[in-house]
């Protein structure tokens, strides 16, 4: 069963959402990412991630970090969304 995890269960007060799609990340990486954008969402399931991004306001901006093995199928589904500010692929 896939889950959505946030660093803090609080409302996002920033314009940007930092979304991680893939396996769980190390705590060290999580802390480094939080220095850039405090609001971090972690998804392990592509469909849940897509639905979340799609549900955001068109004024919100998503910085997406996606695992390479998921990127080939996932990116074409979301690249056209206005919410996408940038996409980074990791391995």
- Mean pLDDT within 19-35: 84
Q: Which residues of 23-38 are buried (b: 16+ CB within 10 A; e: fewer)?
A: eebeeeeeeebeeebe
34-82 pLDDT per residue, tens: 887 778 899 999 999 999 999 999 999 999 999 999 999 999 999 999 9
Does residue 88 carry a pLDDT above 50? yes
Angle in degrees, CA 46, 25, 11, rounded to 5: 70
Task: Give residue 15's pLDDT.
Answer: 77
CA 75 to CA 91: how far, in whole Å? 15
Task: Give residue 7's pLDDT.
Answer: 45
């Amino acid at each position: 069963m896939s889950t959505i995890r946030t660093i803090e269960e609080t409302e996002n007060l920033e314009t940007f959402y930092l979304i991680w799609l893939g396996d769980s990340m190390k705590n060290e990486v999580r802390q480094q990412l939080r220095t850039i954008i405090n609001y971090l969402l972690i998804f392990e399931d592509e469909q849940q991630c897509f639905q979340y991004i799609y549900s955001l306001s068109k004024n919100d901006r998503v910085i997406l970090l996606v695992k390479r093995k998921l990127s080939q199928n996932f990116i074409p589904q979301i690249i056209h969304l206005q919410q996408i500010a940038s996409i980074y692929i990791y391995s």
